[in-house]
Each structure stands twice: as C-alpha cells, then as structure tokens.
C-alpha cells in the first residue's frame, strides 16, 4: 500500500517534496491556504527579482548617457517611470510561473487542497476550506508553512504606517523618500531597487553592522558601493516613536534624530508561521523561530518532518527545496540523507551582486580549522574592464595544511552564478592546485577565480 503523506505549505519546500514523493510512489496531499509557490514565488524571491531586474535595467541605461551624441534629444529621468506598469510586470512574472506550477501538479495528479490544515492527532489532520472541513489521515506529514514578516516595537503598534516584505509589492504609488528598517538581504535589495528608481533611501539598522556572519571585506565593499549611489546608512540606532502627518511619517530615534519619509519598509526578519496548526495536540513544541529538527529534518514526533524556514536551519528558498527532497527520499527509500549547510550558497541580488559559500576566515577560525585567504579584484580582469564591471572581487578560503578549499566569497559581476563553481569544488573536496588545472575561458569574469587561486 502506498505511503500517505500530508504536506502543509506549497512553497519551495512543500511543492518539490510533493513532486518527489509522487515520483517515488507516495499518495500525496498538499494543503496550502494561500497561493501555490508560497512566499518565494508570490511575495519574495521571484517578485523581488522582477523589481531588481527593472531597477538594474534603469541603472544600466543611465550608465549609457556618456555615450550619447550631444543634443540627441534623449533626456531620461526616473520621473518618467510608470509605477503601475512596474508593479504589473512584477505580478505578470509571478502569475506566469504560478500558472505553470499549477498545471504541473494537475498533470501529475497530485491532490492540492486550498485550506488551513491543523493536526488532530499524530496521523490525522483537518483541512478547513471555503466549503467546509476535510479530514485527512496520513502516515507521514511534512510541515512546510514557512514564515511571516516580523514587526518589532514600536512598528508593531502602527501597522498602517509601515509596509513589510510581504506588502511592499503592493504599494500603490512610487515612494519619494523611503526608510528601510534592517540591513539584511531584504533591506539591501530593496534599497538598491528604490535607489535606482530615484527614491531617496536610508537604511536604519539597530545593530552596529550589516549582514551578520558575512565576511568583513564583503560588507565593506557593499557598503561603499551603496554609499556611492547615494544610499544612506544609520547603524546602532533604535526607533522610539513613529508619527504621521498626511502621507509623511516621522521616525524619532533614540538619540533624538528625526527621519522623515513617505514609505517605511520594515525588513527586520521573519518568524515561523505555525500558529493554529494544533502542534500541541501531537506533542510538538515550537516557538517564533520554528520547530527543532535534526539534520534529516525530523521533529521530536517520529513521523513528522519540518522543511524550509520553519526549522531554522537555513532561511533560504534553495535550502528549503533541498530539504523537501531529502525528506521525500528518506520517507520513501528508508535512507538517512542529511542536509549540509556548508554547501548552501548565500546570495544578494543587488548590484554589485554578492554570493558566498562554505567558510570564511572568521568561521573557519571559530571551528579551529587552519585557514588562509587569497583574493583577486575584478579591476584586474579583462572581461570586467571591458564590461565596466570592475567593482568587487573573488576571495577563496583554504586550509594551508592540505590545500583543500574551504569556502569562497564573491562580490561583483555575476556573483550569484559564479558561486556554483566554488560549490562544486567544495562538494568534491578539491584542492587549489586541482582547481587551477581547470581551463578558464578568456575573457570571462570566472578568470577572477583562477587569479584568486593563484595568489
């Protein structure tokens, strides 16, 4: 008899798990209260990249102004941009992918129920739909309900005066002046997008620095680039009070400084979306950070797994997908595959792009691993100079005792694509000398990897 699996959440953890389970012969039910694709497709990764693509095209077009003939009659201004068309393009991208995904599930004959699922026992759940309740029995369940935006004080007391990383995609008009609370990936990407569209942008961060855990050289390069664009940073500052007069909001900071803007985007992280799911009925403990699991994503209840953001292992869509597939294989094949966080690329899709994988100098030293780093700057790479992409570098961390590559950090160029070269090297346990035996095409941005290996 086919194993019955209930998946709660159709985001980047849930839907790949469903497809893999179906492929392996399981009887699958996928419950989703909102849209297929989850936050990533509808309110996160994909729509934000649609926005960033538009912003980058504007940025590139402005960079051509020095090549135009005098008196060409072309005087581009960001005031010429139509916000309604920009948001419509964003919606078109998500709608197209979601429609394809829905058709795929129909073709695979996977049961998808639009409703809110909650447990009534370790092998039973109720899915509340618009037409009533559906009882589902299962052998295994996968929690993949993701996260929702966090809203710390004092912002939680005035939700009508702010937007967050979900609602920002539905702004009715282009902001004139924006304050972004949080200097993490969400904050940095939206700051870059807003700035490209001519929006006066300030990033406010309560911590003394951006991107916790990231390599210091990466952070310095990104901050310098952003400041050259006109994006302002305020670190180590806390908001005490928010007031509004018409469309204009005022943030009063703890040092008495006042900041004014028509749009306040709170990008201060996200927390687990698990309320009302009846976890207490199956003896499963959870908090705002999520559900604790082992590296096979198994919870304290042996037939219940948790994949994606809600297990706190790695809050990235591609991590969620890998976890969902690992769980499916372990359920159907009886294997014990584990999730390896060291192989997860971390990407920022601003410009310059940034990506990292594995260990950097600080994280290697924290683990007691001998480490050295070598770096090559794009300014010395022919393709980068020809493409006017000289900002940034490739940095490689390696163990001087055995020459094995430990990690890499890339800023500039197609960093989010190039990082996979380094991912393969780390996965294969390659040494610097082995990787240098590769032939890197000339001229390419990837030559920076060879140069860094050769330092």
What digits encode the pLDDT tens for the residues 207-260? 999 999 899 999 999 999 999 999 999 999 999 999 999 899 999 999 999 999
SS3 at position 205: strand
pLDDT tens digits, one per residue of 395-409:
999 999 999 999 999
CB-facing half-sphere around the CA of 275: CA atoms within 13 A:
4
From the list 56, 318, 420, 442, the catalytic residue is 442
Q: 315: which residues sit within 8 A by CB, 6+ positions away?
A: 147, 270, 309
At residue 106, the pLDDT reads: 95
Q: How confident is the prediction for the chain on average, in pLDDT?
A: 94
From residue 339, how far is each of 18, 222, 309, 319, 362 by CA, in Å?
A: 18, 30, 13, 8, 22
At residue 71, the pLDDT reads: 75
Q: What mean pLDDT is predicted for residues 274-301? A: 91
The reply to whether domains 4-149+271-341 and 155-268 share a CATH topology is yes
Length of the chain counted residue by residue: 455
The CATH code of domain 352-453 reads 3.30.390.30
What is the Cα–Cα distance from 39 to 47, expressed in whole angstroms? 10
The CATH code of domain 4-149+271-341 reads 3.50.50.60
pLDDT tens digits, one per residue of 105-137:
999 999 999 999 999 999 999 999 999 999 999
pLDDT tens digits, one per residue of 136-163:
999 999 999 999 999 999 999 999 999 9
CATH of 155-268, one of 3.50.50.60, 3.40.50.300, 3.40.980.10, 1.10.760.10: 3.50.50.60
Q: Which pTM value belongs to this model?
A: 0.94
pLDDT confidence band for 308 (50 / 70 / 90): very high
Clarify whether 420 is annotated catalytic.
Answer: no
pLDDT confidence band for 103 (50 / 70 / 90): very high
The domain locations on the chain are 4-149+271-341, 155-268, 352-453
Q: What percent of the chain has pLDDT over 90?
A: 89
Give the residue among 115, 94, 98 at the shortest CA–CA distance from 106.
98
- pLDDT at position 333 over 80: yes
């Amino acid at each position: 008899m086919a194993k019955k699996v209930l998946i709660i959440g159709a985001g980047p953890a849930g839907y790949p798990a469903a497809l893999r389970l179906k492929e392996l012969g399981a009887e699958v039910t996928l419950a989703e209260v909102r849209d297929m694709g989850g936050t990533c497709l509808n309110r996160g990764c994909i729509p934000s990249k649609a926005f960033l693509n538009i912003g980058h095209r504007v940025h590139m077009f402005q960079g051509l102004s020095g090549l135009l003939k005098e008196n060409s009659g072309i005087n581009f201004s960001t005031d010429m941009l139509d916000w309604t068309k920009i948001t419509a393009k964003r919606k078109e991208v998500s709608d197209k992918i979601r429609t394809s995904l829905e058709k795929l599930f129909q073709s695979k004959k996977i049961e998808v129920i639009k409703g809110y699922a909650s447990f009534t026992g370790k092998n039973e759940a109720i899915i509340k739909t618009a037409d009533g309740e559906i009882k589902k029995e299962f052998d295994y369940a996968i929690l993949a309900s993701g996260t929702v935006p966090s809203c710390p004080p004092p912002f939680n007391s005035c939700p009508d005066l702010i937007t967050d990383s979900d609602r920002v995609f539905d702004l009715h008009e282009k902001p004139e002046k924006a304050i972004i609370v949080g200097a993490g990936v969400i904050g940095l990407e939206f700051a870059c997008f807003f700035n490209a569209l001519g929006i006066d942008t300030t990033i406010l961060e309560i911590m003394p620095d951006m991107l916790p855990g990231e390599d210091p050289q990466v952070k310095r390069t990104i901050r310098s680039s952003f400041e050259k664009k006109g994006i302002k940073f305020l670190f180590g500052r806390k908001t005490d009070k928010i007031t509004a007069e018409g469309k204009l909001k005022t943030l009063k900071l703890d040092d008495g400084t006042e900041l004014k803007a028509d749009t306040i985007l709170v990008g201060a992280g996200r927390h687990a979306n698990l309320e009302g799911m009846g976890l207490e009925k199956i003896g499963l403990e959870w908090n705002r950070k999520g559900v604790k699991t082992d590296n096979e994503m198994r919870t304290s209840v042996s037939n219940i797994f948790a994949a994606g953001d809600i297990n706190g292992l790695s809050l990235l869509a591609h991590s969620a997908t890998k976890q969902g597939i690992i769980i499916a294989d372990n359920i159907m094949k009886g294997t014990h595959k584990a999730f390896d966080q060291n192989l997860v690329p971390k990407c920022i899709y601003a410009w310059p792009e940034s990506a990292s994988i594995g260990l950097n100098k600080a994280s290697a030293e924290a683990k007691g691993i001998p480490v050295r780093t070598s770096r090559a700057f794009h300014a010395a790479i022919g393709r980068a100079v020809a493409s006017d992409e000289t900002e940034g570098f490739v940095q490689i961390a390696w163990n001087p005792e055995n020459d094995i590559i430990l990690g890499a950090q890339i800023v500039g160029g197609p960093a989010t694509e190039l990082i996979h070269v380094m991912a393969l090297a780390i996965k294969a346990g390659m040494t610097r000398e082995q990787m240098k035996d590769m032939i890197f095409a000339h001229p390419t941005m990837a030559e920076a990897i060879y140069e860094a290996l050769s330092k």
